[in-house]
Structure 1
Amino acid sequence: MTDRTVHLPVAAQPSVDTLVDLSSRAEDLGYERAWLPETWGRDAVTALTSIAHGTDEIGIGPSILNVYSRSPALMGQTAATLQEVSDGRLRLGIGPSGPAVIEGWHGVDFERPLRRTREYVDIMRKVLAGEELNYDGDIFNLAGFRLRSDPPDPAPPIDAAGMGPKAVELCGRFADGWHATVFTPDGIRERLEDLRRGAELGGRDPDDVRVTLSLTACALADGERARQLGLQHCAFYVGGMGTYYRDSLARQGHEEVANEVAAAWASGDRERANELLDEELIDDLAAVGTPEEARERLAKFESIDGVDAIAVGFPRGATVDEARETLEALAPEK
């Protein structure tokens, strides 16, 4: 059975309390975990600490912390502390993010993202195990320290994000799980083959690598409003977030529309970018519409063999009330 989790809004919210309230409501509705993105708004660590203190049972986790703005040792310390304050409810999501954020916001060169992610996983596991940190990698050379506090027991799992074949293969070889986003059903099935190949190369059982698909969802009584929000969200990611999402959509058989959306967005024609995403493609990228329509489209993704959890996300333009309405409509017991 596919678990249902929630991917808290990526857009700025009125307050940290809003994120806590959404997580608490998700807990009441039976969602298994609350994932929190970290982009260029509130930092995920402070917000997740507040969520941990404001809830009792729901799992928590960042999806994702990037592997450039914090050192791998600091990220290990952070994971240990979050696991402590949440009483063992943490599952960590890390990944390279993309050059638009890493270079434009953090001012760091977006170099060797796959190797960097691999070394972060290795180093963090040593930190979380309480081992002396002696590591001789291609990027990091570390020696002489170990975590000063007691290591968490159990250590939190470390998932990695990826979109391309090699990135997903890496998740299968080394991470505890894979975080996927902006995929069509056919697209994620193709990448799942890469995940299985990576697991086999690493001598692992593919079933031991947990797959979480973050799915843009909006279920409103006003189904047309929900569809427009979903369309605008997808156009932003394909057109406005650098080349990663565009290239991923192109690999999934939609190269022409991906390039056209990116070109329209770059020229400042947001309306044209939105229009280029047709109804059929939106239904392959999101679960939006009336509650009945959104549930039907969500079920299409949950039925994919190899997907362990769906993280119900929200369009960037959705209000808090619309996020709450969607949470209610797509709750696991529904």
Structure 2
Amino acid sequence: MLSGNGDLSSTLIASISQKVEERGFYALWFGETTLRDAGVLAGIAAFVTKKLVLGTSIINVFTRTPGQLAMLGATLSELSGGRFTLGLGVSTPSIVQGWHGVNYERPLKRMEETLKLLKKYFSFERFNYQGEFFSPTNARLKLRSSPRIAVAALNPKMIQLASQHADQVILNLYPVEKVKYVLPLTKSAESSVMLYCVIASDEKALDAAKELLAFYGSSQAYARLFASFGFSEEAKAMLNAWERKDREGAKRAVTQKMVEDLMVLGDIKLLRDRVKQYHEVGISEVLIAPSPFGDFLGNIKAVVENY
């Protein structure tokens, strides 16, 4: 999985996609924050690969309408020959409201309405819909190609919603021992987890790992998630630091145990072992995500060439 925070050129994305396929990986996912469009990157990868499963992890549901998402999903499904998964999420207020300038309102309801409308668009029948956010009239998707749908979920309500309306649930920053508590909620949906990694163990690598977790710790949703995993004091300290605009303070609040539990910091063997542990507790797919903080390209190369 290539994070949306990592600044890689589109040409380099194409080259990495080909290398990932050559190395025998099953899938390649693209994140999106405030740099490059994940759908466009997936399209580039679709054009230069033949078998690699492709997906977005994730596109937020606030800045594109369900109709736009349906067109995007259909186009990429067509382009890839059915290899595309449309991964959606609610992102964070700092990205949706702060960067895009769109009100961050009722994320659970927004996701529910988006998923219901996508189902209608991908029925390829004409329909009317009256919702709280969207009310399309006499709408029909003419491009008859549909992707799989995945939803990024942190809390039980979003996990349950995803299990009802999507093909796949994507967890993020979940310790192995906590996965078993939420897997029953995924029901028939495929369960997956995003696993960040820094393939090194020196001080610079530790700093990069802490910066990644501090970045997520700026979000109230992730702070609550971290607290639910037993990191209440760390989560509170990170939020307080971000309120003071103290980025270094937020990093200092990240403990060694947080790094060890929530991601991988170390060598490829440690990464392989963690992936195996996730599979053993019932996770179907692990989205290995080289950390975009620190040596992003070096992390990618280490995973792609040595895993």
Match of 1:67 among 56, 61, 72: 61
Question: How many angstroms does 1:225 deviate by?
Answer: 4.2
Deviates more, 1:70-79 or 1:170-179: 170-179
Cα distance, 1:276 vs structure 2: 2.9
Q: Are 1:282 and 2:259 counterparts? A: yes
1:157–1:176: 8 Å Cα contact kept in structure 2? yes
**What SS is found at the alignment partner of 2:63?**
coil
Amino acid at match of 2:216: Y
The reply to whether residue 97 of structure 1 matches residue 91 of structure 2 is yes
Determine if the alignment matches structure 1 residue 235 to structure 2 residue 199: no
| Cα separation, partners in 2 of 1:172 and 1:148, compared to 1, 3 Å | closer
Instruction: Give the partner amino acid of 1:162.
Output: A
- Residue 183 of structure 2 corresponds to 192
Query: TM-score, length-normalised on structure 1?
Result: 0.85
Cα separation, 2, equivalents of 1:293 and 1:14:
26
Q: Deviations over 1:265-298 (max 9, x none)?
A: 4334434433332222211111221223333333
Select which of 232, 243, 257 maps to 2:234: 257
Q: CA deviation at 1:109?
A: 1.1
Is contact 1:61–1:91 with CA below 8 Å preserved after alignment? yes
Cα offsets for 1:113-136 (capped at 9, x unmatched): 111111111111221221113223
- Residue 325 of structure 1 corresponds to which residue in structure 2? 302
- Cα 1:110–1:192, aligned 2, differ >3 Å: closer, same or farther? same
User: Larger relative contact order (C-alpha < 8 A, sep ≥ 6)?
Assistant: 1
Task: Give me the CA root mean square deviation.
Answer: 1.9
**Cα distance in 2, alignment partners of residues 124 and 50 from structure 1:** 24
Alignment of structure 1 residues 134-149 onto 2, 5 Å: 134-149=128-143
Aligned residue number for residue 165 of structure 2: 174
The equivalent position to 1:246 in structure 2, one of 218, 223, 236, is: 223
- Counterpart of 1:213, as a letter, is V
Structure 1 residue 76 displacement after superposition? 0.5
Please list the CA deviations of residues 70-121 of structure 1 after superposition, one character each: whole Å capped at 9, or x if unmatched. 1101110111111111111101111211211111111111112111111111
**For residues 9 and 69 of structure 1, what CA distance do their matches in structure 2 show?**
18
Residue 190 of structure 1 deviates from its aligned partner by 2.3
Distance across 2 between alignment mates of 1:12 and 1:219: 16
Equivalences for residues 47-86 of structure 1 within 5 A = 47-86=41-80
Question: Separation in 1 of the partners of 2:264 and 2:165?
Answer: 31
Structure 1 residue 299, shift from structure 2 partner: 2.8
3-state DSSP class of the match of 2:103?
A: coil
Question: Match for 1:294 among 254, 271, 274?
Answer: 271
Q: Secondary structure at the match of 2:136?
A: strand
Q: What residue is the counterpart of 1:211 in the other structure?
A: 191
Identity of aligned residues (%): 27
Aligned-partner Cα distance in 2 for 1:237–1:256: 15
Give the structure-2-normalised TM-score: 0.93
Structure 2 contact 88–151 (Cα < 8 Å) conserved: yes
- Unpaired segments of 5 or more residues in structure 2? none
The within-5 A match list for 1:87-166 is 87-149=81-143, 151-152=144-145, 155-166=146-157
Structure 2 vs 1, CA of residues 35 and 77 (structure 1 numbering), >3 Å: closer, same or farther?
same
How far is 1:44 from its partner?
1.3
Contact 2:209 2:291 in 1 (8 A): yes
CA distance in 2, matches of 1:257, 1:303: 29
CA distance in structure 1 between the aligned counterparts of 2:103 and 2:191, rounded to whole angstroms: 29
**How far apart are residue 303 of structure 1 and its match?**
2.2
Secondary structure of the corresponding residue to residue 88 of structure 1 = coil
Unpaired segments ≥5 residues, structure 1: 1-6, 197-205
Helix, strand or coil for the counterpart of 1:47?
A: helix
Counterpart Cα distance in 1 of 2:247 and 2:69 = 37
Deviation at 1:187, TM superposition (A): 3.0
Does structure 2 retain, via aligned residues, the 8 Å contact 1:26–1:327?
yes
Shift of 1:138: 3.2
- Per-residue deviation, 1:250: 1.0
Give the SS at the match of 1:160: strand
Which of residues 275, 281, 299 is equivalent to 1:304?
281
CA deviation string 1:291-332 (max 9, x = no partner):
233333333333222x110000021223313311122233xx
**Paired amino acid for 1:329:** N
Counterpart AA for 1:184: P
Q: Helix, strand or coil for the counterpart of 2:129?
A: strand
How many equivalent residue pairs? 306
- Residue 170 of structure 1 aligns with an amino acid whose one-letter code is L
1:289 partner amino acid:
G
- Measured after TM superposition, the shift of residue 14 of structure 1 is 3.6
Equivalence for 1:44: 38
Q: Is the alpha carbon distance of 1:137 and 1:15 closer, same or farther for their aligned partners in structure 2, counting shifts above 3 Å?
A: same
Q: Which of 5, 14, 21 is equivalent to 1:20?
A: 14
